[in-house]
Structures are given as structure tokens and as C-alpha cells.
Amino acid sequence: MLDIKFLRENPEIVKENIRKKFQDSKLPLVDEVIELDKLSRAAKKEADELRAQRNKHSKEIGALMAKGQREEAEAMKVLVTSQGERLAELEAQEAELSEKVKTIMMTIPNIIDESVPIGKDDSENVEVQRYGEPVTPDFEVPYHTEIMERFCGIDLESARKVAGNGFYYLMGDIARLHSAVISYARDFMIDRGFTYCVPPFMIRSDVVTGVMSFAEMDSMMYKIEGEDLYLIGTSEHSMIGKFIDTMNKEEELPYTLTSYSPCFRKEKGAHGIEERGVYRIHQFEKQEMIVVCKPEDSMMWFDKLWQNTVDLFRSLDIPVRTLECCSGDLADLKVKSIDVEAWSPRQQKYFEVGSCSNLGDAQARRLRIRVNSKENGKYFAHTLNNTVVAPPRMLIAFLENNLNADGSVNIPEALRPYMGGMEKMLPKN
């Protein structure tokens, strides 16, 4: 969420940013919120002045009574009563206007970084760099569920009976591989200085609206019926929420955390749920990383975060590339974002396995995450997040890139301690 003062002083910058994001329908909101803010501040000013007068007159009543000037005191009481009634009207008006301003401000997109490429949607994202040589095997690579089935490692039919499409049972070596990847990712991030955390898997509505846009909330979140709780779509929501309503010492920054959680998503929209596979599903597990830092450090941390994901995938012999998200593909709170995509030998193309985002002070402003500096006073922190690894989607890349012609799957050296020393998975079928 933008600072209302910034919008008030720079309406054309805000409008140009909206155009860059191809959200022209939001352009009238800028003028509308400026007018509402003007009315809100006018109501507040009048209320403050009236409140001061009322307090002054209330004190005068006692002085008049002490002097025996009862008629003057009674007249002053009538005035104070009328001032109280007007004050109540102004306070209600101010509250209503402030809420309207807040609602609109939460729909106006954050100012994107000047380095972000301009484009309408993800088809115009820009490749930045490739890491590792893409594999083109001389044998046919089966669909990922077929590979898993050879290891008796997946049961989608039973999951559909139990929960419907978008769920799965992982079994045997595939289930073990899933857990091994998560454990390896946890230790990988701990070794890079991040503090490990297991967060709450449900969050309240004020945290939800603090960490994401209304559109994202509607398309992603499952609400717990009868309670002010939502299942998390990713642990970064809960992790950033950890700092809600906090005043943090500047000398203690940055906070660097890595978290494990299950994730739950409605996946509402055009993508739908594929019955055959586990690429887009309602439930999965994930290792995440977040940073809360000083504004001047956020771009440095942005580069460190996506590099962590690249390094982890390369340590597992998976070729990847980084893709700069264009303006139209950025969620409204994001300043800048890079996707990490893994190579698919079967499809002969890359697909998304992680996303790194710098949100500037947008989440901190919504959640009131502030920093106290001896030199610079109080200000809002910057927040960032990035996927470390998210199986079972990551398993697709792992299985395809480590598959052998005989159906066996190589276990990279880094992962072997988490697989009981196993160097190769052998198919059951």
C-alpha cells in the first residue's frame, strides 16, 4: 500500500505506474482518493478544533457556577451539548472517509522498480540468465506421474475419492524423496545463515489483507467456516505476519527466516486443476525464505534470495533459468520479481518452480511493521520473500532431470544423506 502523502504529492507518478501495469480502469481511483482524503482531513481538522473548544467551554462552566452566574453556565452547557453532537457527527464522518480511503489505497498498485520490463502479462517476461546445460536425453521421458507410478509412488485415484481433484497420496521412495528434498532445503538455508521456523498454518483476516491484494485473496485462500481464520497459501504470509504491529530496532535488522509449511490453494481461475498430475494442486509443502530489512538493503537481499534457489537446484543437478517478471505480471504489492524456472527434458522447455519478490514497504505499511532508528527516526521496513523449494512440483524437475534410460533415478550426492545413503532409486514396476 502506498503512502497517502506520496500519492497526494505525486498523483501523476502514481497514474503513470498504473498505466505501466496496464490497469487503466484504476486511474480514476487516484483523483477519487485524493478528494476523499481532503474531506477526511477537513473533518479531522474541524473535529480537533471543536474538541478543543468543547474542553475549554466545559472548564468555563465550573468557573461560572462558582461565581453564581447560573444562567450563563446553563447556556454554556447547551453550547457544549451541541458541540458534542456535532463532534460525534464529525468523528463518524472521519471514520467513514478514512475507511474509504484505506479501501481504495489497498487496490492501487505499488510503485514498480524502474528496472522492471514493461509488458502486459507473463508472455512478456524477460529471460535473465541460464544456469547449467539443459538435458536432452536420447530416450523418451514419460509424464511425471508415470515415472512416479513405476516406483509405486503415487495414488491419485484414491486421493480423488478422499478429497477430489488436486490432491494426491505419495508413497514409498517418492514420498521419502519428497521429505528428503524439504529437509535438504531446510539445512541448505540454515547453512546460509537463515533462522529455521515452523509457523502457524492458519492466519487471521487482518494478516491476509496485510500480505496480499484482494484479488489474490479471493483466488487463493480457503476460509475456515465460522472463524476469522484462513489456511495459508504459502508460509511467507504467516512469517511476515509474525511482525505485525511491531517496532523493531534498526540495529537488529535484517531478520532472515526460512520456514516449512503445508500450503493450501483454491487455484481459482483459468489454470484449473489437472487430473493427471501434481503440477497445480490444492495442497503441497514448501520451504520458504523471508527477509525484513532496511529500505536501502532490500535490492541487495533480493539478489541474494533468488540466487539461493538457483544454487539449491544446481546442487541437485537441475538446470534452471531466471526470468524477470514484467510490469503486467507483477502482483499489486510487488516492486520487483524474478521467477526461477527448471528445465523439463520431457517438454523441452522451462517451467516455474519458485518466485522471488521485493515488496518494498507495502506489506510493512499494511501490517504496521516499523523500525526505530537513532539517526533516521521511525520508518517502515522492507519485506521480501522467495521460494526455496516446493515439492511435489520440484519433484517433476528432479525426476525428469535425474532419470536414466532403464527407469532408475540418480540421487545427487547432496541429497544422499537424506535418502539413507541411496545413490539410485530403482523402479518397482
Least confident stretch, 48-57, 156-165, 337-346, 402-411: 48-57
**Is a pLDDT exceeding 70 seen at residue 412?**
yes
The superfamily (CATH) of domain 122-425 is Bira Bifunctional Protein; Domain 2 (3.30.930.10)
Q: What is the structure's pLDDT at 268?
A: 60
Of 255, 203, 198, 199, nearest to 229 by C-alpha is 203
| Distance, C-alpha 318 to centroid of its chain | 26
The CA distance from 8 to 183, in Å, is 48
Average pLDDT value for residue range 179-185 = 97
pLDDT in tens, 23-75: 999 999 999 999 999 999 999 999 998 888 888 888 888 888 888 888 888 88
The CA distance from 287 to 262, in Å, is 9
The CA distance from 186 to 151, in Å, is 25
Q: Which has the higher per-residue pLDDT, 194 or 375?
A: 194
Q: What is the structure's pLDDT at 66?
A: 80
Q: Which three cell numbers stand for residue 178?
A: 519428497
The CA distance from 428 to 357, in Å, is 41
**Is a pLDDT exceeding 80 seen at residue 387?**
yes
Q: Which has the higher per-residue pLDDT, 326 or 277?
A: 326
Fold of 4-105: Helix Hairpins (1.10.287)
Q: Which three cell numbers stand for residue 122?
A: 507473463
Task: Give yes or no for a contact between 3 and 105, defined as CB atoms under 8 angstroms apart.
Answer: no
The CA distance from 395 to 391, in Å, is 6
Edge-to-edge strand list for the sheet holding 255-264: 126-131, 320-324, 336-344, 349-358, 382-389, 283-293, 255-264, 195-197
pLDDT band for 296, please (50, 70, 90 cuts).
very high
The CA distance from 15 to 28, in Å, is 9
Of 414, 356, 359, 425, nearest to 388 by C-alpha is 356
Q: What is the structure's pLDDT at 214?
A: 74
308 three-class SS: helix
Q: Which has the higher per-residue pLDDT, 212 or 325?
A: 325
Task: Give yes or no for a contact between 278 and 145, defined as CB atoms under 8 angstroms apart.
Answer: yes
At residue 378, what is the residue type?
Answer: K
**Is a pLDDT exceeding 70 seen at residue 345?**
yes
Q: What share of the chain is helix, strand, coil (3-state, %, to 5)?
A: 45, 20, 30
What percent of the chain stands above pLDDT 70? 98
At residue 319, what is the residue type?
Answer: P
The CA distance from 81 to 16, in Å, is 49
**Is a pLDDT exceeding 80 seen at residue 271?**
no
Q: What is the structure's pLDDT at 270?
A: 45
pLDDT in tens, 319-336: 999 999 999 999 999 999
**Is a pLDDT exceeding 60 seen at residue 238?**
yes
pLDDT band for 269, please (50, 70, 90 cuts).
low
The CA distance from 415 to 402, in Å, is 12
Task: Give yes or no for a contact between 163 and 273, defined as CB atoms under 8 angstroms apart.
Answer: no
Task: Give yes or no for a contact between 36 and 94, defined as CB atoms under 8 angstroms apart.
Answer: no
Query: Strand pairing partners for 262?
Result: 285
Q: What is the structure's pLDDT at 273?
A: 55
Q: What is the structure's pLDDT at 276?
A: 75
Task: Give yes or no for a contact between 307 and 291, defined as CB atoms under 8 angstroms apart.
Answer: no
At residue 409, what is the residue type?
Answer: V
Average pLDDT of every residue of the chain: 93
Task: Give yes or no for a contact between 333 and 362, defined as CB atoms under 8 angstroms apart.
Answer: yes
Task: Give yes or no for a contact between 232 and 265, defined as CB atoms under 8 angstroms apart.
Answer: no
Residues 6 or more apart whose CB falls under 8 angstroms from that of 363 comprise 210, 211, 240, 333, 369, 383
Q: Which three cell numbers stand for residue 198?
A: 515452523
Which H or E run includes 286?
A: strand 283-293
Task: Give yes or no for a contact between 342 and 350, defined as CB atoms under 8 angstroms apart.
Answer: yes
Q: What is the structure's pLDDT at 376?
A: 87
Longest CA–CA span in the chain (Å) reads: 107
Domain boundaries, the chain: 4-105, 122-425
